Amino acid sequence: MMKKYLSLFFILLSMACSKKNRITELKMPPVIHLTGEKVETILPRCYETGVLVDSFLVLKEKCTDTMFYLFSTNTDREIFRFGREGRGVCEFYYPFFLVNSFAYDSLIIYDSPAATLTKIDLAALVESRDIAKCVNSEHLYRNLNFMYNFNKIDSAFIGTFIEKDEGLFSFCNRNNGEIKNTDYVPYYFYEKGRKDAYCHHVLVSEKDNSIIVPFKYMNLINCYDLDGNLKVTYALDWIKEEINTQIRVDDHTTVTFYRAYATQNYCYLLWEGCKIEDARKYPTKIVVMSWNGKLEKVYELNNFIDFIIPDENQKVIYGGVFNFGTEVTEIHKYPML
């Protein structure tokens, strides 16, 4: 019996080591410093995220009855606002922007509790000023509620369940609703509190056959193909210490990739690199990575941003900057160098 347990132990140990050995260190280049300026034409509000669709900037707000504010990137001026809580046309409970919005010419919003996708033709909305004429909602499979990191490709929906602990992230076949879960990698045989410890982002590009998964509390980036096969795991050389395999998320936990944004060409990964108790104290670094996992460049801003919306056409980055004096979020703009 003891030999059986020892054999099992060495099998598990070898599995752990093999997965650990896959980690490739990324040598980080010198940072490119960017200085931003407040966009005066965008009024400060409780913005919590945003997305770019063609020449439209859409910001999500959380403190008023109106959820979404629409701006032109040509003028940085507000042109429409929409979205309320409820079950009616263009009403939501807990909405998220589709992560791979860059692949579509309309705004797509995933409502997590209701498991619906709402498609909004923004150009038609600006022209007609009638939201009801520009909205098309799709009810998804019932097992696709309460997710985040939501992406859509031709064959599947890809995202992360908020509460279910059946894998790191999941695929849902769009034809039959079948769920396929990916394994936790790296797997440290830690279960209690695992959903928090493995908090992550899921960025998907169908044309590049690529899924990029950076972690919020571990210095790791997993790269997969669209079948969920792990290709490589990267670690940034900014942190040399071993990953804490018994991680408990508390005020002393180091935050690594706290936000992410995907475009047609790149993944923009926001790096904090300090403990939760020191949040927002240090300037944000932005790790820019291609869809094939190549490190392109690293920016360092002159301040901390809560979220990012890159506009590669105009070569600028929009960032949400929390003002501790007014306790609302301003929008700042940084040049892309």
pLDDT tens digits, residue range 232-274?
999 999 887 666 656 678 898 999 999 999 999 999 999 999 9
Asked if the structure places residue 284 within a domain, the reply is: yes
CA distances from 109 to 48, 94, 263 (A): 15, 10, 17
Residue 298 is part of a domain; what is its CATH number?
2.120.10.30
Q: Which residues pair with 206 in a beta bridge?
A: none
Question: Which residues 6+ apart lie within 8 Å of 6 measured at CB?
Answer: none
Distance CA 277, CA 143 (A): 36
Question: Is there a domain that residue 122 lies in?
Answer: yes
Q: Is residue 199 part of a domain?
A: yes
Residue 19 is classified by DSSP as H
At 277 the three-state DSSP class reads: helix
Q: Is 90 exceeded by the pLDDT of residue 194?
A: no
Going by pLDDT thresholds of 50, 70 and 90, the confidence category of residue 282 is very high
What tokens appear for 63 in the block? Answer: 């403190």
Instruction: Evaluate whether residue 55 is within a structural domain.
Output: yes
For residue 284, give the DSSP letter.
P
pLDDT reported for residue 188: 65
Q: Please report which confidence band the pLDDT of residue 6 belongs to, taking 50, 70 and 90 as the band edges.
A: very low
Q: Is the pLDDT of residue 10 over 80?
A: no
Q: Is residue 5 part of a domain?
A: no
pLDDT at 316 over 70: yes
Structural domain including 65 reads 29-335
Give the tens place of pLDDT for each residue, 50-59. Answer: 999 999 999 9
Residue carrying structure tokens 């944000």: 284
> Residue 157 domain-assigned?
yes
Residue holding tokens 């919020």? 216
Contacts of 62 (CB under 8 A, 6+ apart): 46, 47, 48
| pLDDT at position 331 over 70 | yes
With H, G, I as helix, E, B as strand and everything else as coil, classify residue 40: coil
What is the chain's Cα-based Rg?
21
The confidence score (pLDDT) of residue 191 equals: 64
Asked whether residue 81 is domain-assigned, the answer is: yes
pLDDT at 21: 46
H helix or E strand, kind and range, residue 195: helix 194-197
Do the beta carbons of residue 311 and residue 335 sit within 8 Å?
no
Among the residue ranges 179-183, 194-198, 297-301, the one predicted with the least confidence is 194-198
Model confidence pLDDT, tens digit, residues 94-120: 999 999 999 999 999 999 999 999 999
Q: In what order do the strands lie in the sheet with 32-34?
A: 32-34, 295-301, 285-290, 266-275, 254-262
The full length of the chain comes to: 337
What is the number of structural domains in the chain?
1
Q: CA of 223: how far to CAs of 53, 211, 231, 236, 304, in Å?
A: 25, 6, 6, 14, 27
Res 133 pLDDT > 50:
yes
What confidence score (pLDDT) does residue 45 get? 98
Average pLDDT (67-85) is: 97
Residue 13 confidence (pLDDT) above 70: no
Q: Is residue 23 part of a domain?
A: no
